[in-house]
């Protein structure tokens, strides 16, 4: 009887832990931010994207692979990344604008301040 109880308890506990881990990181929940609420540098980056450049960093406009799978799944090449200047950063920093759609005419914009860990959809 005692062994049966311990086995059931262990199975329940293991199932709970595995279920919790599966739902703890909901990648489908993206935040939303207004263009006006973005940092000034992000607003400038969006303006440069809309003008078609020129861009200050070589990697600007390169394909963003969405390997983290935080953004909605799309075919490779749908997303592009652009650096958002970070004051006092010695490198490109962590901030990016990710666009979705055609390179010359994006349909959607996303902002990340933490190098792809989280995103906010940019709304007009």
**Neighbour tally for 120: CB within 10 Å:** 17
The token duo for 54 is: 């020129």
Strands 120-123 and 62-63: unpaired
For residue 98, the cross-strand partners are 81, 110
Arithmetic mean of pLDDT, 115-119: 94
The residue count for the chain: 124
Query: What are the chain's domains?
Result: 27-123 (3.10.450.30)
CB atoms within 10 A of CB 58: 9
Strands of the chain (E only): list them: 31-34, 62-63, 79-83, 96-101, 106-112, 120-123
pLDDT digits (tens, 9 = 90+) for 52-110: 999 999 999 999 999 999 999 999 999 999 999 999 888 999 999 999 999 999 999 99
The residues assigned a catalytic role are: 81, 115
Full-model pTM = 0.76
């Amino acid at each position: 009887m005692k062994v049966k109880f311990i086995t059931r308890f262990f199975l329940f506990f293991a199932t709970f832990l595995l279920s919790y881990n599966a739902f703890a990181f909901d990648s489908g929940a993206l935040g939303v931010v207004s263009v006006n609420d973005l940092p000034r540098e992000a607003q400038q980056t969006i303006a440069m994207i809309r003008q078609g450049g020129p861009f200050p960093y070589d990697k600007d406009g390169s394909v963003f692979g969405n390997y983290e799978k935080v953004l909605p799944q799309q075919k490779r090449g749908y997303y592009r990344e652009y650096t958002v200047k970070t004051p006092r950063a010695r490198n490109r920093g962590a901030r990016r604008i990710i666009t979705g759609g055609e390179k010359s005419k994006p349909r959607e914009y996303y902002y990340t301040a933490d190098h792809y860990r989280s995103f906010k959809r940019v709304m007009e």
